[in-house]
Amino acid sequence: MLETDKAFSGSIPENYDRHMVPLIFEAYAQDMARRVAALSPRAVLETAAGSGVVTRALAPQLPADATYVVTDLNQPMLDYARSGQPPDARITWRQADALGLPFEGGAFDVVCCEFGAMFFPDRIAGFREARRMLRPSGRFIFSVWDRVEENVFADEVTRTLAEIFPDDPPRFLVRTPHGYFDKALIRRDLEAAGFSDVEIETRAEQSRAFSPDIPALAYCQGTLLRNEIEERAPGALAEVTEKVAAAIAQKHGSGEVAAKIQAHIVTAVN
């Protein structure tokens, strides 16, 4: 992962939430919320909360006396997440690095993280920090994307951009969001962090949009892929996005589109 793979700023948070969240994150956020709520936790910590899709799904399901600490490394993302959440005295918003959390150890029943672990520069350190946060028998629940080939739109976007920029293809999607899919490696990393009871479930969903323009906008302008496109073709972001939309339309049609997405849901017990 490159250092620039963490810089969610500018208009990316809004485009991310408007386009990426309904396209690929919403179904997994609802699943994450159900898993966490089923444990009836009194204290929850969410790391790498992004634009708040899990927070919005989970908060209504938590007990009235629960505490819910929501964190993200990127203040713009956290600000956006907070702006979309109704006032809730149970929720504390805190800018924090998942690799160095500013909280007392053993304070939480559950630590959850949807599609954030791929961005950790040191995943074992991040997992060790999650474990430090947990009470005995507490759960660390997180999700990561499967390989890019199992996520059709992401794969098609990557291939199309490689055709547009053959000398220097943008590889953000392969390198980071879809770069941590090896279940054996995930298990080894968790064990190295001190977890011994680990379950990994692979879950497929359908990514749906009203037109091929939506996944093109989502990936090209709602992720850090945008930075790579703009570096290679200053001023041509809209044109490149249109080319990606045309490539998706060629395979899926010009109306409503749907394609497979797939992720690993991981539960580790302290």
Per-residue tokens: 45: 């910590």
- The token duo for 117 is 């672990």
For the whole model, what pTM was predicted? 0.92
In contact, 3 and 31? CB cutoff 8 Å: no
Whose structure tokens read 């399901």? 61
Question: Which tokens hold the place of 264?
Answer: 């690993």
**Neighbour count for residue 147 (Cβ, 10 Å):** 15
Which stretches of the chain are assigned E, i.e. beta strand?
Answer: 43-46, 67-72, 91-95, 108-114, 134-145, 197-209, 257-269
Q: Average of pLDDT values for 121-149?
A: 98
Band of pLDDT at residue 3, cut at 50, 70 and 90: very low
Quote the pLDDT of residue 13: 67
Output the pLDDT for position 109.
Answer: 98
pLDDT at 214 over 60: yes
| CA pair distance 179, 168, nearest whole angstrom | 18
The token duo for 142 is 């997180």
Does residue 6 surpass a pLDDT of 50? no
Percent of the chain having pLDDT more than 70? 95
Average model confidence (pLDDT) for the chain?
Answer: 93
CA-nearest of 80, 59, 84, 79 to 69 is 59
pLDDT value, residue 223: 86
Q: What is the pLDDT of residue 20?
A: 84
pLDDT range class, residue 19, cuts 50, 70, 90: confident
pLDDT in tens, 95-117: 999 999 999 999 999 999 999 99
